[in-house]
């Protein structure tokens, strides 16, 4: 995507983040994607770790904590919400963006999206 803008924010701050939000705008500044992850594992890879050790460390950290991911793809009107990790089964749903973006049970994502737009001036 030529001229696209991607902005990412960590809440409450990058250090110790509990949530990550990313938004993608096309070259005409139209919203293309919104992505949110709640439950960000702390990953500490030892210095000098091999690729296999790094992979195992990341997998173990991600499996140890429950994570919710919300992905809204405005270009194709598709939303995916999933929960994984924390020793529980993986669950996901596929729906339209409109069906998900204003769900109160999710916070709603549209409120965080508007905050990101204001912060980015887009």
- Give the per-residue pLDDT at 112: 86
What pTM value is reported for the model?
A: 0.81
Confidence bin at 34 (pLDDT 50/70/90): very high
CA distance 34 to 8: 10
Domain coordinates of the chain in residue numbers? 5-120
Rounded CA Rg of the chain: 16
Q: Which of 8-12, 21-25, 36-40, 85-89 has the lowest mean pLDDT?
A: 8-12
Per residue in 57-102, pLDDT tens?
Answer: 888 888 888 999 999 999 999 999 999 998 899 999 999 999 998 8
Residue 85's CB is within 10 A of a number of other CB atoms, namely: 16
């Amino acid at each position: 995507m030529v001229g696209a803008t991607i902005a990412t924010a960590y809440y409450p701050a990058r250090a110790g983040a509990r949530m990550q939000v990313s938004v993608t705008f096309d070259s005409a500044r139209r919203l293309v994607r919104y992505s949110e992850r709640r439950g960000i594992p702390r990953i500490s890879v030892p210095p000098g770790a091999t690729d296999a050790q790094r992979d195992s460390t990341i997998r173990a950290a991600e499996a140890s904590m429950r994570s919710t991911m919300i992905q809204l793809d405005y270009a194709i009107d598709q939303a995916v919400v999933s929960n994984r990790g924390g020793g529980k089964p993986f669950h996901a749903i596929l729906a339209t963006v409109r069906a998900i973006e204003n769900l109160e049970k999710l916070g709603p994502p549209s409120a965080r999206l508007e905050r990101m737009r204001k912060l980015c001036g887009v």
